[in-house]
Structure 1
Amino acid sequence: MATKSRSKLVPWLAWGLLSYLIALGLLAASDVLKNQEYLQKDYYFRSPAFYEQLQQHFNLFRNVHVVYNHWEDKTDAEKIGQARMEQWTRHFETMKTIEVEQRKAEVQNQIQTLQTWIDNEVAIAKEKREQAANSAEESGAEQAKAQSQDAQNPPDAEEQAEIARIRKEIALLQDTEANILPNAERQKNERIEKEIKNYLDFHNKQYAAVKHSLSARSGSFYYYVQDLETGEMYANRGDRPASAEIAEAFYAIRLPQTTLEGGALQSINRSFQQYRLEGIFLFPKEPRGFSQMIADHAYFNTLRQRLIYELYVLGATVAAAAALIFYLRRNRCGIEVVQQNYTAVIRGIPLEPRLLLFYVLTMFALSYGSSAALFRLPVGPSHFAQWTLLALLIGCLGLLLGDAVLLLRNPQALREQWNAGLYRKLQGYIQAKLVDRLILTKAILIFVMTVLFGVFLFNVMKNFNFTSFTYFYYGTPFPEGYVLFYTFVVMPYLFRRILTFSRILTGAEAIASGRFDHTIVEKGRGNLARLAHLLNNIRQSIKTSVERETKSERLKSELITNVSHDLKTPLTSIMNYVDLLKHKDLPPETIASYVEVLDRKTQRLKVLIDDLFEASKMASGSVELAVEHVNVADLLQQALAEFSDKIEASTLTFRVRVDNPKVTAPLDGRKTWRVFENLISNALKYAMPHTRVHLALTEEADKVVFTINNVAAYELNFDVDEIFERFKRGDTSRNTEGSGLGLAIAKSIVELQGGQLRIDIDGDYFKVRVEFAREAKAAAS
C-alpha cells in the first residue's frame, strides 16, 4: 500500500521540481538578458553613471576656473559687468519715468479738482448775493440801497476760511509735485543698489559652494589645465602628472581630442575647445577620501560577477531539467498522469476564456520573471516566495498546455468543447434574441455580396494583367486574406453592431411601455453606444421626474393636512373659550384663567403664522442679510442662556464644548441666533427624557462647525430629506409644541449665508451638523 502511494506521489514531485527548475531558469535567463551589458569587461567606463560623474567633475572645474575665474580678486563692478549694469539702469530709469508721469498726473488732477471747487463756491456766493439784492429792490428803495451795498461785500468769513484751507492744500500739492522727480530718482538708485546686492549675494554663495565642492574632491580628482589664450595654469596639484602616473591611474584623459566616444565626453571636449583650454583630468586608483567613481566601479564589477554566477546557474538548471524530463519519459510519467485529476475542472472553463487565460498567464509569467529580483542580496523569504509564485504559474501553464495536447489528440472532445464555447453561445443568443430578423437577413446579404465582389474584383484585375497587381496577387495570399479578414473581423463586428441595435430597440419599447427599470447595456463606442447612453439618460430623467412629481404630490397633501391641523387646533381652542367667556355669571378667577389660555393660544397661532411667513420668505430668497464678522461662540451662549429656564426644567443634560470662545465668521448675527434657537428648541422638544444633548462648536480649515446630537424620543422612520419639509415633525401624532418649520427655516438661513446644514440619523440617534464659511460666500441658488 505504501509503495502504491509512493508511486502516485513521484510524478507530482517530479513535475513540481521541473516547474521550479523552469522558473529558476527563466529568472536567471531574464536577469542575464536584462543586464547583459554588465557582462562586458570595464563596462563602467562606457556607462551613463561614469559619464554623469565625469560631467559633474568638469562642471565644478568650469564654474570655479572659467565662470567664476578670479572671482575673489574682482571688484563688485567687475563681477556685475558694464552691460548688466547698463541694462539695470535702463530698466529702472524707464520705471522711474512711468511712475513720475503717473504721480504728476494724479497731483495735477487733485489740484484741478480743488481749484474747480473754489471757483464753484465763489460763483454760488455771488449768485446768492445777487438774488438777495433783487429781492430787496422790490421791497423798497432804502432797503434796496442797503442790500446793494451788501452785494458789494466779499463772501462771508466761513466761506473765506474754507477757501483759504483749500488753497493751502493746493500749495502742499504743488510742493509735492515739485518733489516727485527727486524722490523717484532716489527710489531708482535704491532699487539698483538692491539689485546689485541680490546679484552679488547669490553669486558669492554660488562661488563658495562650487569651490568647496571642488576642494572636497581634491583627493580623488586631479586636474592640470592651461588657458591657451592667457597662458594661465589651473591645477589642484603642484606638478604636471607624469606618464607613469597617468598609466597607473584609475582613469585619466587628455583634452581636447580630435574624436571621442560618449555624449558626455564629446560635450566636455567641445567645452575645452570653446574655452581654449588644454590639460589632463586624472582620477587616482587609490584616492584620499571617498570617491563615487571608485564605488560605482566596484558595484559594476560585483554585478558582473553575479551575472557570471547566474550563467552557471542557468546551465546547471537546463541540464537538471533535461535530465528530469528524460527520467519522466523513461518512466512514462507524462503530464497526463498529473493532469487526470484536473481535467474536469479545466474542461469546465469555456474554450475561448481558456485560451485567453493561457495567454494572460504566459504574459504575466514573462513579465513577472523579468521583474523579479531573485538574485539580489540579502537572501530572504521573499526570494523563495517569488520563485514559488513563478513555479505555480508555470505549473498552471503546463496543465493548460497538456489539456490542449489531449484535445488535439481527440477531435471529438475538441468538437464538443468548441460547441460548448462562448462563440456558439453568442451565435445562439443572437438567433434567439434578435428583434428584427429582417436586419439580420440584410446584414448577411451585404456581407456575402461584399465578399463576392472582392473576389470578383481580384479576378478581373488579374485577367487584365496589371503588372503591379499581378505581382501583389501572386506574391501574397491576398484573396484568402481578404476572405479571412471578412470572416474573423468584419462578421463579428457586424454581429456586435446588430446585437447593440437589438438591445436599443428592446430598451426603447420598454421605455415606451413605462418600464423605467429596464437599462440598456452600453458597450463599445460609436453612435449606437451613444444612442444607448442617451436613451438611458432619457429613461432616468423620466423616472426621476415621475418620482419627484409623486413625492411632490404626497408632500403637498401632507403640507395641506399639517397646516390645517396646526392652525385649526389653536383656532378651535380660541373659539371655544370665547364662547365660554360670553357667560356673564363666570367668577373673576375663571375669566382670568380663560383669558390666559386665550393669550397662550393666540401667541401659539401668531408663532405659527410668523414661522410660515418666514419660511416662505426664506424659500423665495427675498431676505436681506446684515452680514458682519460676529463671534459665533457668543451667539451660541446667548441662545443657551435664552433657554436656560427650559433646560433646567427639563430632564435633559446639555453638554457644551466650545474649542475657541473667540471664533468669528461673516454672518448675520440675528439670523444665525435664530438657527441656534431653532436647533436647541428642536432638541428640547424631541429628545428622549433623561438623556444627554451634546453641543460642539469647532473650527476647521475654512469653516466653523456646530454640531448638536441627541437621542430621539420618537421613532425616526422617515427619510432624512423629508425632515426639512415644511410642517414636518418627528412627532407624527403632532402632540408636541412647534410649527414643524424650525429645521426648514434654519436650513434656509444657513444656505443663504453660504453654509450647509446636514442631518444624519443613526438608529434613534439624531445628529445635526451646521457649517459656516470662514469667508463670505454667495448663497447657493
Structure 2
Amino acid sequence: MDIKSKSKYLVVIWALLVSFGLSGLFSALTNGSQFLQGDYFESEEYGYQMNRFVSLLQVFELNSMTKEDMKKEITVSDEEIEEHRMRYGNLGEQISNIGMQYEQQIQEAIDSGNKTVEAALTKERDAKIADITENFNSDEHVRAKIMKEKEKRIDEFYQELEKYRQQFVNFGRAYKYYMEDAETGEVFTNLTLKDGDSVSDFINDKEMYFVQDYGDIQEFYGYTGISEQFMPYNEVAEAILANQNNNFTGKIGLSKNAPASLQAIGDYRYFQKRQLLFIGYMIASIGALIAAYVIARRKPAIVFGTFENFKPIYAKVPLDVRLGIMLATGGFFLLTLTLISEQFVYYNSDIFSSLIELIISLAAAAALLAFGLMQLKFFAEYRNDGQLLKDDLQKSLVFKAYKAILDAFLIRSIGIQLIVLLGFVFGLGMLAAAVLVEAGFIVVFGLAFIFIGLPLLIIIMKKAGYFNKIVMNTEELAAGKMGSDIPVKGKSIFAKHAADVNTLRNSVKVSHKEQAKSERLKTELITNVSHDLRTPLTSIITYTELLKTPDLAPEDRDSYIEILDRKSKRLKVLIDDLFEATKMASGNIELRKDKVDLIQLLQQALAEHNEALSQSSLQLRVSQPDHPVYAFVDGQKLWRVFDNLIGNILKYSLENSRVYISVKAEQDQAVLTFKNVTKYELGEDLNELFERFKRGDQSRHTEGSGLGLAIAKSIVDLHEGSLDIEVDGDLFKVTVILDKVS
C-alpha cells in the first residue's frame, strides 16, 4: 500500500474520531442533565408517570363521588344564563333565523301538496320559536336547560372515566400509597394493614425504590387536578372536583416487589440501561477526541494538507453560495451528531439495527466534518488577503443581483415599468391561486384578466415585436447592410433606441462616404505629390546631365545653372511647405501671441506682393476701418496666412478682373474677406481645397505647392478662429474670423 493511500485512510480515521467525540460532547450538553445529574426519580420521565398516577388516584379514590353526588353539586350562574340566552343573538334575530330555516322546507311541502309534512314542519318551527321566546321571559326555563346539559356532560365524564380504571389498577400494583383526610381522618390506601402495623413498615427506602410525600408530589410536579394530558377533559366535572377542598397527607412509593411487566418498573429499568450506556458513550467520545488530537499533532500536514486538493474547484463557487453551503453543512453536521447520540441515549435491544444506523450516521458526520473544516480553512485565508475577499464579494450572486437591479434602473422608466409589470403578474397569479381555493374568486379573476391581463399581454407583445425589429435592424447594420431607418414610434425607451440606431446608421453611411473620399484623396495626394516633386527633380537631373556634356558653351552652362538654381529652390519650397503643413495639422507648433493690428499686418503682406500686383492686370480694392483692429495672435504665423491667400489670388484670379479685400470689426470679432474671380472652374466639393497638394488648377500648370490653403486653415484653427470658403459661380471668397481685442 503506497503512502498516498495511507494518508487518505488516516484522514478518514481522524474525521471519524473527531465526529464521534464531538457527538459525545453535543450529547453531554443536551442530555447530560438527564443522565449525569441526579437519578431517574428526579427526571421528567418519572415525574410524568407519577403525575399520571396521582391524577388517577385523585379521581378514583381521594375525590371519589358518585354520579348522583356530582349532579347534586351542579350550579348555574347568572352569567351562564345570559350567555345561553344570547348565544345566537337577540330574540328577534333568533326568531328570524328559525323562520328562514323552515321557510324553504314548508314552501316545498306546500308546492307538493303534502299537508301532513307542512303541518309537522310548522308545528316544529312554532315550538322552537316558543322555546326561544320563553328563554327571554324566564330565567328558570333557561336554568333548567343548562342543568340538563351539565348532567349530560357528567354522564359523558363517567362513561369515559371507566376506560381509565384498568390503568389505575395497574398503577396500583406498582405504586403503594397511604393517604389520610386531615379533616375527617378517613384513610385511603392499597396496603393490607393489620392491627399494630405501621405504614413505615411497608413504605420505606428498603421496600421501595423511591418514596415521596403526597404534598411534595403536588408541589414538585405542579399537580392542579384533572388534566387533559392524563384523562379526558370535562369542564363540568373538573369544576366540581376542583371545589372539593380536601386536605390529604400521606406517602406514595414505587414498590420493589412490583412485577417487571408493569410500565413504571419497566421505565425505571430502561432508564438504568440507558444511563450506563450514556456514561460509556461519554468515556468513549473523550477517548476518541484524545486519539484525534494525537493524530493531528503528529501528522498535521497529512490531515489538513489534503484539503488543498479541493481548493481550485471550491474557488469557482460564488462566495455567498459558499456561505450558504457552510451553514447548511453545519446544520446537517449537528443533525448527524444528534442521530449518533440517539443510538446511545435511547437504548435499543436490536443491536444490529442500532449498529447500522450508527455507522451510517458516523460516516455522514465524518464527511460533513471534513467538508466543513475545508470550508473554514479556505475562509480563513481572507484574514490576510483583503483584495481576494473584495474580488470574491464582487463575484457573489448577491452582488450580481444587486448590480442587475442597479442596471435595471439605469433607465428609471424601464425599472419602474418592470416592477409594475411584475406586480400585476404576481397579483394575477395570487388571484388564480385564490380561485383554486375558493371558486367565488373566478369572477374577480376573470374581470382582472380581461381588463388588466389582456391589455398587458397586448402591450408586451407589441413592445416585444418592436424590440425584435430593432434587434434585427441592428444585426443587419453590424453585418454591413445599411437598409432603411427603423420607424420611431412614441417616446418610449425603445423609440429612443430606434432613433439612436437610425443616427448610428446615418453616421456609418457618412463614415463610409468619408472613407471613400479619404481613399480617393489619398490616391490624389500621392499622385499630386509625385507630380509636384518629380517635375523639378526631373529638370534638375536633366540639366545636371547636360552640364556633363564636353565642350559645353559658356552661355548654355550659365543658362543650365540658372534653371538648376530655380528648380532647386522650387523643390525646397515644396518640401518646406509640406513639412510646415504636416506640422500645422499635427498641432505640434508653438504660437507666440501678442496684440497685433490686423490692418497693419495685412498692409505688410500686400506690400510684399506690391510689385507682382502692379505687374498683373488685376485691380485691387481694399476696404478697412479708420481705426486699428487688434487681435491676440502670432503675427508671423498670421502674416503667412495673408501671404498665402494673396499669393493664391495672384495665381488663380482671372486676368483683368477686380480683387476685393476687406477688414471689418463686428462686435467681438474681426472679419477679413478675400474675393476674386477664378480663372479655373472649381469642383463642387470646396472642402477638398483644404486638402494637401489640392489646387484649383487641376492641370497643375501654375506654380505652387497646393498647400497654401491647408497651411492657412491650420494656422487659423490654432488661433481658435475660422477660415471658410464660398464659391458663387466663378466668384471665390475666403472669410477669416478671429477674436478681436480692445
> What TM-score do you get using the length of structure 1 for normalisation?
0.39
> What TM-score do you get using the length of structure 2 for normalisation?
0.41
Larger Rg: 2
